[in-house]
């Protein structure tokens, strides 16, 4: 592998430029919108004799060839350090969404696709992926109201446009958040000194305060290490109330979704969403969540007993007045203490073994071995990246066989900055597809994270949970890179939403395997791998407080379903987001907030756009992830043969086939929850 010179191969590739101005972005959006209208106009003219050649091919060509450009100009809002460019990007997405909703509401175009479908559904010469694409197109039209009378179609269209704009505003407010909280250095006792040194100093009332922003590298150390419980409480409440302007926006979003569902003839918005998911029915999801809660409650109660004992002893040791309750702001702090006291796992020390660049290099080697691929780090000119922090890699397949093939490019944008997307996510920028001449168009994807920036004294050091996060998001990226579908519509992560997390969750298991942790670790000063004793202790912590952790996930899923299973105007009129959020949070998570309500839903980006009536999918997909790992990889995580089998059956096919069929082929049986239950409950 090392003997191959990739320099010439890399030079053959054409990588996109990232040099757009705000006006460029707006102009491109207008042009794309006009081109889409023209495409739909031309398709409408084929009503007398619609064929694959005059309808499907131009339709697919437009989608295939314009996906990257559309994703690129709308991606700037998440990563650009230029506010004008971010604003233009949001404006571009608003225009594109409005145009798309209008075009997908056209009865004349719908009728053409209906007629085409009738003519080819029994045609053996039309390949299965094309037929599946045509079916999905028809479903999309119907879900936009094309089976309704014209007056109702217009209502649905207006509601969809309003909903789209609200979702964009919600996300924009979240991305532009500049919130912070001020503390004196004494109030931040317990937080590592290298973290303290990174906080900006602010003079207030003649006193020096430290500015703790709500970016992960700033706020998380307060939750985990501040020994002053009032500091943790204030930080927790401030963080929970950030972006409060989204309160009203989410309320409007829920009400519009209700109206859309009713106009389309669904009992609830969940019914509308779930017919396109693996779960299919809201009852399936609600039963799943209810059953899981029943199983998790006793596990979480035991978790809580141990944490309460730890808190009680801590208060005694420090001569503080005891507290009977265990609050939401206590969890992260005493979870860290439990890891340190009982398991001798100091996450700050563990992080010393995961310097960012070394960990990336080793992580990529894992993926290379499992999937028979090769990452080649590039030195891109400024015009090929959107920020100086961004890294770029070119990816090749067939290294072992010597039949090298360039299969895509991936970007890493890993540190926080103002206006940047605040969590961790993979953005599938450019899907792969089959070009008209039979060549393969290669995909482009980007990992956007928020890890601590390096300092003069230390490189960026990843906590173990951040290593898991990186593995997870890279799993999405690899899904996008390794997929090889005919159409962009089915590429990579374009699968059912309640399966999309499975490939990434499955790959998290490598972060808990002893041999793999040793191979992945390298002390930032000595280069030595983590010792066996520390690795063993770290692995033992995998299921520590898993009950409480999963109840938190369950709370998000239950809250999501609560809002989207409203089935009457009376219920909708009674909706109180603040009350619903806080009552559910206290009762489900078992971690009360001492009558200090927060508007955490105002920063719940998933529910505003993408995972509405779908957050359960994070737990639902764990069942499939555990089954795949235990069946194919548990005995030999680095088995290339099984990796290639998994790659070709699950990742390569994207959404071009039914996921359940793929799972049965991969496993040799129907998937089951045995491995998941064993992992979760022992």
Active site residues: 473
| Integer Cα distance of 611 and 85 in angstroms | 27
Which residue bears the tokens 């990452």?
375
| Integer Cα distance of 92 and 32 in angstroms | 10
What is the DSSP pairing of strand 373-377 with strand 391-397?
antiparallel
Residue 123 structure tokens: 């045609």
Taking a C-beta distance cutoff of 8 angstroms, is the pair 105, 145 a contact? Answer: yes
Which residue bears the tokens 């994807």?
445
What DSSP assignment string belongs to 298-367?
HHHHHHHHHHHHHHHHHHHHTTPPP-S---GGGHHHHHHHHHHHTT---HHHHHTT-BHHHHHHHHHHHH
Which residue bears the tokens 């809250």?
559
Residue 347 structure tokens: 């996450």
Angle formed by the axes of helices 246-263 and 577-589, nearest 10°: 100
**Helix (H, G, I), strand (E, B), or coil: what is residue 632?**
helix
| Integer Cα distance of 508 and 487 in angstroms | 29
| Integer Cα distance of 22 and 86 in angstroms | 8
What is the DSSP pairing of strand 391-397 with strand 440-441?
unpaired
| Integer Cα distance of 54 and 57 in angstroms | 6
Which residues are within 8 A (CB) of 571 and not within 5 positions of it... i.e. 6 or more apart?
Answer: none
Which residue bears the tokens 């041999």?
515
Q: In terms of Cα–Cα distance, which of 637, 631, 620 is closest to 512?
A: 637
Helix (H) or strand (E) holding 295: helix 282-317
Alpha-carbon torsion angle 590, 594, 595, 598, nearest 10: -70
- Degrees (nearest 5) of the Cα angle 682, 636, 671? 55
| Integer Cα distance of 311 and 288 in angstroms | 33
Q: In terms of Cα–Cα distance, which of 144, 153, 445 is closest to 276?
A: 144
| Integer Cα distance of 534 and 530 in angstroms | 7
In total, the chain counts a number of residues equal to 682
């Amino acid at each position: 592998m090392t003997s191959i010179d990739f320099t010439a191969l890399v030079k053959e590739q054409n990588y996109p430029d990232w040099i757009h101005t705000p006006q460029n972005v707006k102009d491109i959006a207008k042009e794309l919108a006009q081109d889409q209208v023209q495409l739909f106009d031309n398709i409408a003219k084929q009503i007398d004799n619609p064929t694959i050649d005059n309808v499907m091919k131009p339709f697919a060509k437009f989608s295939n060839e314009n996906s990257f450009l559309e994703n690129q100009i709308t991606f700037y809002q998440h990563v650009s350090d230029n506010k004008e460019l971010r604003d233009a990007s949001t404006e571009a997405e608003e225009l594109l969404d409005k145009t798309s909703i209008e075009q997908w509401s056209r009865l004349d175009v719908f009728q053409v696709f209906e007629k085409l479908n009738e003519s080819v559904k029994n045609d053996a010469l039309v390949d299965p992926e094309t037929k599946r694409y045509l079916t999905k197109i028809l479903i999309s039209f119907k879900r936009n109201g094309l089976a309704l009378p014209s007056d109702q179609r217009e209502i649905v269209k207006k509601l969809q446009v309003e909903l789209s704009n609200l979702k964009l505003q919600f996300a924009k407010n979240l991305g532009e958040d500049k919130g912070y909280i001020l503390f004196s250095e004494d109030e931040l006792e317990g937080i590592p000194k290298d973290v303290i040194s990174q906080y900006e100093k602010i003079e207030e009332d003649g006193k020096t305060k430290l500015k703790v922003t709500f970016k992960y590298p700033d706020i998380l150390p307060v939750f985990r290490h501040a020994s002053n419980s009032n500091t943790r409480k204030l930080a927790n409440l401030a963080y929970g109330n950030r972006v409060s302007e989204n309160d009203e926006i989410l309320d409007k979003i829920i009400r519009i979704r209700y109206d859309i569902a009713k106009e389309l003839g669904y009992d609830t918005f969940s019914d509308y969403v779930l017919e396109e998911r693996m779960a299919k029915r809201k009852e399936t999801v609600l039963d799943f969540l209810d059953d899981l809660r029943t199983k998790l409650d006793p596990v979480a109660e035991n978790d809580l007993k141990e944490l309460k004992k730890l808190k009680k002893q801590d208060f005694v040791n420090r001569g503080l007045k005891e507290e009977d309750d265990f609050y939401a702001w206590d969890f992260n702090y005493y979870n860290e203490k439990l890891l340190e006291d009982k398991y001798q796992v100091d996450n700050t020390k563990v992080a010393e073994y995961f310097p960012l660049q070394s960990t990336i290099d080793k992580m990529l080697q894992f993926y290379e071995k499992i999937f028979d691929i090769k990452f080649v780090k590039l030195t891109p000119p400024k015009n090929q990246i959107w920020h100086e922090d961004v890294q770029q890699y070119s990816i090749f397949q067939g290294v072992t066989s010597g039949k090298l093939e360039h299969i895509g490019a991936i970007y890493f944008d890993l540190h926080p900055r103002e206006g940047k997307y605040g969590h961790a996510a993979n953005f599938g920028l450019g899907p792969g597809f089959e070009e008209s001449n039979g060549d393969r168009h290669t995909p482009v994807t980007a990992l956007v994270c928020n890890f601590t920036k390096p300092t003069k004294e230390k490189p960026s050091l990843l906590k173990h949970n951040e290593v898991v996060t990186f593995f997870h998001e890279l799993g999405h990226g690899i899904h996008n890179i390794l997929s090889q579908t005919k159409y962009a519509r089915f590429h990579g992560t374009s699968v059912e939403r309640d399966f999309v997390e499975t490939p990434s969750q499955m790959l998290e298991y490598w972060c808990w395997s002893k041999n793999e942790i040793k191979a992945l670790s390298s002390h930032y000063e000595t280069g030595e791998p983590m010792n066996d004793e520390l690795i063993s202790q770290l692995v033992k912590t995998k299921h520590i407080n898993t009950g409480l952790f999963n109840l938190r996930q369950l709370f998000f899923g239950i809250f999501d379903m609560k809002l989207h299973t409203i089935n009457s105007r009376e219920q909708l009129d009674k909706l109180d987001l603040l009350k619903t959020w806080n009552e559910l949070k206290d009762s489900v998570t078992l971690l009360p907030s001492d009558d200090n309500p927060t508007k955490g839903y105002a920063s719940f980006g998933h529910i505003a756009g993408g995972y509405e009536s779908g957050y359960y999918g994070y737990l639902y997909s764990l069942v499939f992830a555990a089954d795949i790992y235990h069946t194919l990889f548990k005995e030999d995580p680095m088995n290339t043969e099984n990796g290639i089998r998994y790659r070709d059956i699950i990742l390569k096919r994207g959404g071009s086939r039914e996921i359940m069929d793929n799972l049965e082929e991969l496993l040799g049986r129907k998937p089951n929850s045995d491995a998941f239950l064993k992992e979760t409950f022992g």
